[in-house]
Structure 1
Amino acid sequence: MPLSETQARAITDAVRDVAADEITPRFRNLGDGDIDTKSTWDDLVTVADKAAEDALTARIHDILPGDTVVGEEAVSADRSLLDRVGTGRVTIIDPIDGTWNFAHGVANYGVIVAVVEDGVTEWGLLYDPSFDDWIEAHRGQGAFYHRNGAARRLHVSQQDAPLSDLRGNVGHYMFPPECHQGLAGTDHLFRRANSMGASLHEYRMQATGGTDFCLNGKLNVWDHAAGVLILQEAGGVARLLDGQEYRPTMTEGYLLSARSEAMWQTLAQTFNGALQG
């Protein structure tokens, strides 16, 4: 059953409420013992992540009774939850995307929510708690930036440009060690290529015209399902580097997004050459 506008609005309101209650009061206010590690020393989780996911999960169950909710922190405890993403309607939550930034007092973080039905992303939300604004998209209906009660439709530029003029994001640390040298060898080709440490803001920057491309080395569904939909609805392109169309059920591969088809093709050739060389 497609997500209705009323349900989407209710989820957005829930995200805003939970962020105001559980996230922003803890920003630059975390105490001893409020930060822990997960898979690696720099893969952090805070009390805010856990509290926000618990609260938001409960709110979404009220809005979409009987539906499945899969949160990043829940998957950390039970990875088999990812098996539910391709069946029925599932809401994906990243309670704080950019936890490293959040934990260190950098206001480059936010909340990501995606609603996936039978393996297809139907709705996505990229919410910035610091400024209480967000970008959302229903599949086939365009992407919209919301602030202060007003909504503006987003369209990314299709104008071509040389690689030397492009600004983008490449998170080298997300790739296997054997890829690092090849990727580093492409840095000089671009005007700027770095990582923001938060997929939410990398997708927001692309959708609003601040950057031209992004290359990701991990396919965590909570990082990409909403952002890919939003970028595509704004006119951009997102595929795996080998040309496969992105699907939320995917867990392996490298994801390249760009603001136009021509730009995606040029970037794919560049990055594939670097990684295979």
Structure 2
Amino acid sequence: MADLSEDVAALMAEAAAREIMPRFRMLREGEIEEKSKGDFVTIADREAELWLTPYLEALIPGSHVLGEEACAADPRRMTLIEGDAPVWTLDPVDGTANFIAGDEAFGIMVALVEGGETLRAWIYLPASGGLAMAERGGGAWWRSDGATERISAGTSPASLADVTGAFNVRFMPDEWRRRIETFAGCVGRIANDQCSAVDYTSVARGLKDFVTYHRMMPWDHVPGSLILREAGGVIRDLGNGEDYVPRLLAGPHLVARDAASWERIAEAIRRA
């Protein structure tokens, strides 16, 4: 991978070491807030984003960071993704509810978007030290315990009774929620980690077969979508079958290990 990939990976690891892991299972009263019902933020989210933002912007002059917490404070920042200038999407702690609960299923997610196209992506899982990286047209890579290897999502089992999936239906319209919840009874195993960083890297590495989503905030989906695609996977709108792009904010979307299994699972959901 090019130097930029290593620079960003190093920044993510440092942010985790400085601002996130010292607070893991150590949060104090007053360090957790509820932005909206069921949507939490901690001091680790805010401090990690504040620390990372200037360093990311310094890597590419003229770039801007579209961070989850900055956008929560000023929703007008969402228009950054609509422009042609370089934009870093940043989720400083994806899986905040897990982080608060002391569950290790959380991560940092970063992507570089320019002109509406995702060029590079990183997902770092601080609790395990696992790192996924991808460059458009350059493949997807997984680093763990000092070893880096190219990853492939592979293919899903032909039988739905043998697949493993995750279902995120909280923001789904009622009709799609009903179909997906009905379909959930047909799959072999449900593995809901409630963390996009874990879900995307798991599908890209062939550890899960599919995931469903509806609300498509850029910081939640832009990084994972590139890593997934470079590993051979797909993410498409369940309604019209179109590929996900960074400027889409709603679904429903289905993530799958390969195009054939996407078609098979999508059809089963539509029939449910």
Bin the TM-score by the shorter chain. over 0.9
Asked if 1:60 is matched to 2:35, the reply is: no
CA deviation after TM superposition for structure 1 residue 37, in Å: 0.6
Give TM-score, length-normalised by structure 1: 0.93
> Among 193, 199, 203, which residue is 1:202 paired with?
199
Q: CA deviation at 1:194?
A: 4.4
Map 1:172-187; keep pairs closer than 5 Å: 172-187=169-184
Of 42, 65, 71, the residue aligned with 1:69 is 65
Higher mean alpha-carbon deviation, 154-163 vs 17-26, is at 154-163
In 2, Cα distance between the equivalents of 1:259 and 1:155? 9
Partners of 1:164 and 1:191 within 8 A in 2? yes
2:185 corresponds to: 188
- TM-score if structure 2 supplies the norm length? 0.95
Trace 1:145-184 onto structure 2 (pairs within 5 A): 145-158=142-155, 160-184=157-181
Deviation of 1:81 (Å): 1.1
Aligned to 1:14: 11
1:260 alignment counterpart: 258
Matched, 1:37 2:34: yes
Please give the secondary structure, in 2, of the residue aligned with 1:152.
strand
- Following TM superposition, by how much is the alpha carbon of 1:260 offset from its aligned partner in structure 2, in angstroms? 1.4
Q: Distance in 2 between matches of 1:51 and 1:19?
A: 10
How many angstroms apart in 1 are the aligned matches of 2:47 and 2:258? 39
Matches of 1:161 and 1:178, distance apart in 2: 26
Q: Which residue of 1 aligns with 2:135?
A: 138
Q: Distance in 1 between matches of 2:3 and 2:106?
A: 26
Shift of 1:150: 2.0
Partner residue in 1 for 2:24: 27
Task: Give the drift of 1:114.
Answer: 0.6
Instruction: Output the CA distance in 1 between the equivalents of 2:267 and 2:156.
Output: 19
Q: Deviations over 1:183-203 (max 9, x none)?
A: 221112100234211000001
Q: State how far apart, in whole Å, the 1-side matches of 2:145 and 2:157 are.
A: 33
2:211 to 188, 199, 214: 214
- CA positional deviation for 1:160: 4.5
- Partner SS for 1:36: strand
CA 1:159–1:53: 2 relative to 1, 3 Å: closer
Residue from 99, 102, 107 that aligns with 2:99: 102
Q: How far is 1:159 from its partner? A: 5.5
Question: 2-side partners of 1:176 and 1:195: how far apart?
Answer: 19
Deviation at residue 124 of structure 1 after TM alignment? 0.7
Whichever residue aligns with residue 56 of structure 1, its letter is L
Q: Identify the residue that residue 116 of structure 1 maps to in structure 2.
A: 113
2 CA distance for matches of 1:160 and 1:31?
45
Identity of aligned residues (%): 35
Q: Which amino acid is 2:162 matched to?
A: D
Structure 2 match to 1:270: 268
Aligned residues: 270
In structure 2, the residue matched to 1:85 is 81
Work out the CA distance in 2 between the residues paired with 1:210 and 1:176: 28
| TM-superposition CA deviations, 1:146-197 (whole Å, max 9, x none) | 1233210011223551111110111122323454333221112100234211
Q: Secondary structure at the match of 1:253?
A: strand
- CA–CA separation in structure 2 for the residues paired with 1:268 and 1:159: 13
Q: Report the alpha carbon displacement of residue 209 of structure 1 after superposing the two structures with TM.
A: 1.1
| In 2: Cα distance, 1:44 partner to 1:93 partner | 16
Tell me by how many angstroms 1:5 deviates.
1.9
Structure 1 contact 93–222 (Cα < 8 Å) conserved = yes
Q: CA–CA distance in 1 between the matches of 2:9 and 2:171?
A: 30
Stretches of structure 2 lacking an aligned partner (at least 5 in a row) = none
Is the CA contact (8 Å cut-off) linking 1:14 and 1:56 kept in structure 2?
yes
Distance in 2, Cα, partners of 1:185 & 1:160:
20
Counterpart position of 2:224: 227
Q: Distance in 1 between matches of 2:156 and 2:166?
A: 19
